[in-house]
Structure formats: C-alpha cells, structure tokens
Amino acid sequence: MASVDRTPKPSFTKALFLGNTHSELVMPYPLLDGEERVKVHSLAASAREYLTGTYDPWKAEEQRWVGDDTIRDLGERGLLGLFVDEQYGGQGLSQTGYCRVMEEFGRADGALAVVMGVHQSIGTKPIYLYGTDDQKARWLPDLAAGRKLAAFVLTEPNVGSDAYNLETWAERQSDGSWILNGEKRWIGNGSKDVLTVFARSDLGHVALVVEKGTEGLSTGPRFDTLGLRANNLQRVHFDNVRVPAENLLGEPGDGFRIAMNTLNNGRMSMGTSIAGGMKAFLGYTLDHANERTQFDRKLIDFEMVEEKAAWMNTQIYGLESMSYLTTGLVDRGVADFSLESAMTKVVASDVGWKALNKAFQVHGGTAFMNDHPLSKALRDFRIFPIFEGANDVMRAYVALNGIKALSDGLPDVRSLTVGAPGKAIGVLAPYVAERVNRALRPEKLAGADPVLAKQVSAVAEQVARLRDRAEWSLRKHGKKVQEKQLMQKRLADAASGIYAQVAVISRATATRARDGAPATAAEITVAAEFCDSSARQVGRDLRSLEVNADAVTKKIGAAVRESNGYAFEL
C-alpha cells in the first residue's frame, strides 16, 4: 500500500508565493447540489420576494433604521440564522449556502445587507464558532429567530486596523467574572441585544458576551453617516460592567484569534453581497440604456455604453467565482483561508465601486438626483473598501504572509519573526545574499477543461513569475520589506488576479461538465475574457515591481509634506 503524504500544506495563496498550485484545493469547483441547493434556492427566493415586495429601502433610510418589523419578518422566514444549526432554530447552511442567500440582501439594499452581515457574519458567528453547548443554547435560538440582534464590538477611538492594541480593559475577578471598562465606536447594532466584546486583560485578549441592559453598559450618541443611513451605528461605553464568567468565549487569551477568525468568515459574505449589488447596477444600466434614446439611437447601441455593460457582466462573473471558491475552501475544511478571504474582500469592494461608477455614468444626470437608487448606492458603497479590514491593510497582509511563507522555504533566508501576522505587518530578519540555484517549472491546474488550455497555461506562467518576483523583492529589501507598501500592493494584486483566474477556470470547468458545451458557450466566452484581461493586469503588476516611478513619487511626496500643500503658483 502506497504511503500517504500527510505533510500539512500551506494555504492555496501562500502556496502561490512558493510557485505551487495545489489543484486539489480548488478543483472541482464547489457547486451547490442536492438538498442544500434546493433549500438555498428556496430561501433566496423567499428573501427576494420580501425584499422586492415588502421592504422599502427609502423608508428605512428616512427613519434611519431598517425597521423592527423587517427584522421580525425576516426572522419568521428563517433568514436570520442561516448558518446556525437546526437544533438552535437555524437553517444549518454551509458557508457557500449562507453567502448565496446574503447576495439577495446586497442586491436589494446596501444598508440592510450590512445590518444582516453584522448580525450573522460577525455578530452571531463567534458564538456559533467558539461558544460552548450551553452558550449556544442560551443565545443562538433568539438570534436565529430575530427576537434579538447581535453585534461585533471591536473598533475603538484609538484602535482601527491595529486591532491587537485594544485599550478596552477586562479585569478578572476572584469569582471568575470580569469587570469591563472602555469605549468602542462605529459599532453596527451596538444598541441592540447581544454584544460580543473584545478587550485586553492580564491574561491576554478576551471575548466577552455582554447583554443589553447590563448595568454600566451605555450607547450613544449615534453616528451621523454619509451612507448606510438605516444602519444603527453606535458608540458603546463600558463603565465597570460586570460580565459573568459563563459569558467568556473560549479561554482567556483567545480573544484576538476569535476576532480575526470571525472577520475572515465575515469578509466572504461582503464579497457575495457586493456581487448582488453589482447585479442590480447592471440591471439598472440595461433598463436605462434600452429605454433612453439619443441621436435617434438607443444608448445600448453605442459602443462605449455596451462596453460598460460587458465589463460589469464579466467582472460579476469573476467576483462570483472568486467568492464562492473561497466559501468552498471553508466548506471543505481547509484550515487557512485568511488570505483568500482578504483578497475577496479587497477585489469585491474595489470592483463593486468601479461598477457603480460605470452604471452611474450611463445614467448621466438622472443618477445624480437624490431619489435615484444609484445615488443611494453611491453613498452606501463607499464604506466597503474601508471597513472589515481597510483595503490597504489587507493588501499588506496578503503580501507579507506570502513572503513569510516563501522565506520559510529558502535555506539561506531566516524566517519572518512574526508568528501571527495580524498582530503587526511583520519584520524580516537579515539574509545571506547569494541566490539559490533553482529551476521553476510552471505547475498547471489539474482537471481544467481543455477549452481553457490557453488560460491554464497563462496561470502557470504567472504563478512562476509571482514566486520569482516575490523572492527578488525579499532578497532586494531584506528586513525593510515591511516598509515597502507599494511593493506589497503589487504582489497582493498579482496574487489576487491569479486566484481570481483560478476560480473562473475551476467554475467554468464544473459548469461545462454539468451542463454540456452548447449550454455553456456564452459562459466560456466570459470566463476566457476575464482570465485574459486579468492576466494582462497581473503582468503589469509584476513588471512594475522593477520598472516604476516609486523614487520619483517618494521625492514628490516628501516635497508636498515639506510645503504642507500645493506649492506652485501661476
């Protein structure tokens, strides 16, 4: 009997930085099937029926809350505990199934999507993932039914992306309870019912569940936001709040890990919610372009309008493929999906914003009116590149994790000293400069449909170049690599582009096998175009690691800082 290789593999994306493509992690594509597919379609249809027939996003914006009646109705339809086990009143969906239903909220209203995401993706999730059986039985039934709403309480006035250095303090008492003091801000559902609060203590970071009405807990004043007006965003204050011992999630010292793992899960539903929003933008664009006549022609007949619709269609396909490949990693039990989750969030928020602007441009002045849905979306969507991990920070996180994985595999380069890159961006130790002689052989995706052979070969070449350029950057900059954020951005964007192409190839292969060549001809065209376009961008990102204007940019930046503004007069 042949021996089985049980050596732990790195995450798919970390492996890309090593020049490897672990096909078994991404092939075949995780298509929904069987009973769950039927259940997910039923729940998605129920959500769409309610959101298009009953829910009024304009009323919610005017009243600055999605409405208690909305929460009640969604709870009765089983839409507030989508991933919660059935024994606690939930639907028991996989990560993929959950994110598919969340797409409907993103299609209908960005504000409601955020409220739902805060409640389920990050509010309820830590209890679901880390709660004891007693804790789950205590809180999950009410949360799944919508009788209570959950909040994720992490951000502070002086702590945003640097989430490790919390100032909120929890002091353990002799009876095992905790006394909590501090202030949090920008907390969705912060004035609601079940708050998972993160704090520091002498025993390390802790995650504590605090319930509404607890003595010493107060909220307000509420934040007045540009968009997402129906999202109840609060300040939360803790003044000697006593938290019972049985409200601790995990063990003392687990709090930071719980927070980061929860956010890794939460970013996925943001990706699919934004995909839902993009579908709405495309729908608005086609409706308007087919109705509006200029110069005796429909707008859709003009090439620059048609190009915008084609671009949106192609990018939705790419984002969908990337998002659901990532949820599939979770459902397959892959332990490390943090980089894929981060990349999905960055790509979704960036491409969603571009799609919104293209749709806005097609509508012209019509969309600039305050009562147009694209006007509302413009206000709502701007926050997405910022929250649940600012995109600049996420790019640095992806690149430096990839470089760390690479440095661990080089015999003449000592490893990164950071054990948990979320705590700090990281520091590289000095290295010996001699180059290791090696030959990179492009590794191709196994099992891809031959119709995409050109794209598969292109991905293999890009993976080899990513490895080569990452090592070049590591050897050139040494321990200063953590300061080279423009380098980090290019590496992260290249890795994201490769991952998106892999997702598209995997998905198109699976749907072609399921539905047959004639039925998927149009899909293959979109898939190939997405991959070809993305490959060109990856090439530009990797080339710009060597050929760029960074030195000039730094010089101009220093001069602007010195002059404290624009210094040139006519």
User: Which helix (H) or strand (E) element contains residue 94?
Assistant: none
End-to-end CA distance of the chain: 82
Contacts of 539 (CB under 8 A, 6+ apart): 462
The three-state secondary structure class of 298 is strand
Under a CB-based contact definition with an 8 Å cutoff, are residues 328 and 506 in contact? no
- How far CA 226 is from CA of 15, 276, 565, in Å, comes to 40, 22, 26
Cβ-based neighbour number of residue 500 at 10 Å: 26
The distance from CA 337 to its chain's CA centroid, rounded to whole angstroms, is: 11
- How far CA 17 is from CA of 461, 480, 498, 509, in Å, comes to 13, 19, 11, 24
Catalytic (active site) residue 569: no
Under a CB-based contact definition with an 8 Å cutoff, are residues 510 and 31 in contact? yes
CA-nearest of 26, 101, 98 to 507 is: 26
Instruction: Fill in the DSSP letter of residue 283.
Output: H
The Cα 342–Cα 263 span in angstroms is 9
Contacts of 565 (CB under 8 A, 6+ apart): none
Under a CB-based contact definition with an 8 Å cutoff, are residues 394 and 270 in contact? no
The Cα 261–Cα 244 span in angstroms is 24
The distance from CA 562 to its chain's CA centroid, rounded to whole angstroms, is: 37
CA-nearest of 470, 469, 448, 463 to 528 is: 448
**Which two tokens mark 254?**
């687990």
- How far CA 309 is from CA of 51, 63, 221, 321, 479, in Å, comes to 25, 34, 42, 18, 45
Among residues 388, 443, 523, 569, the one annotated as catalytic is: 388
Q: Residue 505 half-sphere exposure, CB side, CA atoms within 13 Å?
A: 30
The distance from CA 561 to its chain's CA centroid, rounded to whole angstroms, is: 33
* Concatenated DSSP letters of 485-552: HHHHHHHHHHHHHHHHHHHHHHHHHHHHHHH-TGGGHHHHHHHHHHHHHHHHHHHHHHHTTTS--HHH
In 3-85, alpha helices (H)? 12-17, 23-26, 34-53, 57-63, 68-76
The three-state secondary structure class of 382 is coil
The three-state secondary structure class of 26 is helix
The three-state secondary structure class of 180 is strand
Residues identified as active-site:
388
